[in-house]
Amino acid sequence: MFIRYLAAATIFLCVFAHTAFADQKLNVLFIAADDMNCDLGVYGDSLVHTPNLTRLANLGVRFDRAYCQQPLCGPSRASLMTGLRPDTLDMHTLKHELRNKNPDVVTLGQLFRNNGYFAARAGKIYHYGNPSQIGTDANDDPATWDQRHNPAGIDSLQEEKITRYGPQKGGLGISMAWWDPVSRDEEHTDGMVASKIIELIEQKRDEPFFLAAGFFNPHCPYVAPKRYFDLYPLDEISMPDLDEAKADLEDVPPIAIQRDMKNWPYYFDGVSVPQARKCKQAYYACNSFVDAQVGRLLDALEKNGLMKKTIIVFWSDHGYFLGEKGLWYKRKAFERSARMPLIIAAPGLAKNASTTRPVELLDLYPTLADLCALRAPENLEGASLRPLLADPSGAKWDKPAVTQVWHNKKAWGYSIRTDHWRYTEWLEGNAGRELYDHRNDPEEIHNLASDPDQSETVQRLAKRLQPYVQLKAHKRE
């Protein structure tokens, strides 16, 4: 009799333990930067100080080849938050049209809300005009969140103090502009974003949460406290030789750089090399400023005992040119525009590791659903990164990364990135092709698309790219 009671008690305890474990939901801290490329200490750049991103990478996996779906804030963020490609959403511009075109889509934050999580953001997750829409809801999606917070700091409220190069027309959202005030982090929008998320971490530490910290830096205008500028003496900031930069573009189809050549170099007429160098210094200062805010968030998780039950994701919406090839900004199909930082730390999975497998931002939605045991929509177009988070170097992973560019009906293209190659077609090849050998030419200097020795490679990659070309008829000529 005693043995039967003991057996029954054991079974009860096992079931109870299993149920309790299953009910232990993992939190998500979702950290976004704006226009941040991989010029970061955590990615091996010896100049740029990012100790807190390195600290985060030591807790998880750094993705060395992570790519956006379109190198423009609006469509990139909408794609990430829905797990759907820009063509599927029919979103390729900065217009506020997510729900108008996709009324029934279940966003990432909405999925967590539907499963009992508290979901909130501070700052920019969907598209915001920067700095014009700071302090507003901009293009945000109300159904994604339980709470939305829109702080505005001196970077937005004191625009008159920002130094601007080139023509003084229009807003600062596309500008060569900087400001280095002697100020506290918390006087700036991004410092306020971090403070609000820290407050929410403390308030919600005893319930499951999906908290999104959307930093506006390093998007132009490049504004950060002076002490971050002081990390980068101007004489240590190098700029590419412009004659060599111009030569790099000789074998590129004109459509690929049509937006950039009118006032080449640096996009705006009359911007000098010393002025571009100052903006590059300011961009790096903004990277370090964001890094400091990431450190504050990690400190808050540690202080509240949440590190072992929180998935932490750090991402940017796309990459960024800082004078390479004489180019500036994003909206290009080159590696520097399509590639951005991505770091994921998940309890129980790999730590202090990295992977070179190509991944996409739209993989984040199925990944977080998988790790948190949530049933995701069946139409997601990405794949869970769990295999790479468990075994970064040995997992089977054959999926390429696809990035598209859309300027207008006459100017658009698609680019596919594999372990070895980047292949790009403009107007399905009718306006040119590009092929870069990343094992031997990581800066994409030599376009091999017309090389007879690479004709089979072009054919193979063109065939692999073709299924992703789904641009709707009204977006083509």
Evaluate whether 190 touches 142 at the Cβ level (below 8 Å).
Answer: no
Q: Give residue for tokens 């859309």.
A: 406
Signed CA dihedral, 149, 364, 301, 228: sign only: negative
Residue 44: pLDDT over 50: yes
pLDDT at 14: 39
Beta sheet of 209-218, edge-to-edge order: 147-149, 118-123, 209-218, 27-34, 310-316, 342-345, 61-63, 353-355
pLDDT tens sequence across 196-251:
999 999 999 999 999 999 999 999 999 999 999 999 999 999 999 999 999 999 99
- Is 127 labeled as catalytic in the residue annotation? yes
Select from 148, 277, 287 the least CA-distant residue to 216: 287
Catalytic entry in 49, 127, 188, 318:
127
Band (pLDDT 50/70/90 cuts) for residue 84 is very high
- Contact residues for 204 (Cβ-Cβ < 8 A; gap 6+): 118, 211
Q: Side-chain half-sphere of 455: how many Cα atoms within 13 Å? A: 2
DSSP letter for each residue of 384-396: --HHHHH-TTTS-
DSSP letter for each residue of 42-97: GGT-SSS--HHHHHHHHHSEEESSEE-SSSSHHHHHHHHHHT--HHHHT--SS-S-
As a whole-number percent, the residues of the chain with pLDDT over 90 amount to 94
pLDDT at 168: 74
Catalytic entry in 38, 49, 68, 73:
73
Record the pTM.
0.95
- DSSP secondary-structure letter at 25? P
Percent helix, percent strand, percent coil in the chain, to nearest 5: 40, 20, 45
Q: CB pairs under 8 A, 24+ apart, for 306-310? A: 306/27, 306/201, 306/205, 307/59, 307/347, 308/347, 309/24, 309/26, 309/27, 309/347, 310/26, 310/27, 310/28, 310/29, 310/347
Evaluate whether 281 touches 229 at the Cβ level (below 8 Å).
Answer: yes
Evaluate whether 70 touches 333 at the Cβ level (below 8 Å).
Answer: no
Band (pLDDT 50/70/90 cuts) for residue 17 is very low
CA–CA gap between residue 29 and residue 59 (Å, rounded): 14
Band (pLDDT 50/70/90 cuts) for residue 47 is very high
> What is the Cα gyration radius of the chain?
23
CA–CA gap between residue 31 and residue 297 (Å, rounded): 9
As a whole-number percent, the residues of the chain with pLDDT over 70 amount to 95
User: Cis omega (within 30 of 0) on the bond before 400?
Assistant: no
Domains delineated in the chain: 28-398 (3.40.720.10), 403-475 (3.30.1120.10)
Strand partners, 31: 213, 314
- Is 220 labeled as catalytic in the residue annotation? no
Residue 21: pLDDT over 90: no
CA–CA gap between residue 24 and residue 18 (Å, rounded): 10
How far the first Cα of the chain sits from its last, in Å, is: 82
Q: Give residue for tokens 């950290």.
A: 31
pLDDT tens sequence across 66-82:
999 999 999 999 999 99
- Contact residues for 133 (Cβ-Cβ < 8 A; gap 6+): none
CA distances 315 to 59, 68, 95, 243, 412, Å, are: 15, 10, 22, 34, 25
Band (pLDDT 50/70/90 cuts) for residue 23 is low
CA distances 269 to 28, 166, 176, 181, 252, Å, are: 44, 6, 11, 27, 22
pLDDT tens sequence across 107-139:
999 999 999 999 999 999 999 999 999 999 999
CA–CA gap between residue 63 and residue 60 (Å, rounded): 10
pLDDT at 167: 82
pLDDT at 8: 43
Band (pLDDT 50/70/90 cuts) for residue 170 is confident
pLDDT tens sequence across 283-338:
999 999 999 999 999 999 999 999 999 999 999 999 999 999 999 999 999 999 99
Which tokens is 287 given?
A: 């990277």
CA–CA gap between residue 93 and residue 238 (Å, rounded): 33
Which tokens is 200 given?
A: 């929410």
CA–CA gap between residue 436 and residue 51 (Å, rounded): 32
CA–CA gap between residue 465 and residue 428 (Å, rounded): 10
Strand partners, 177: 164
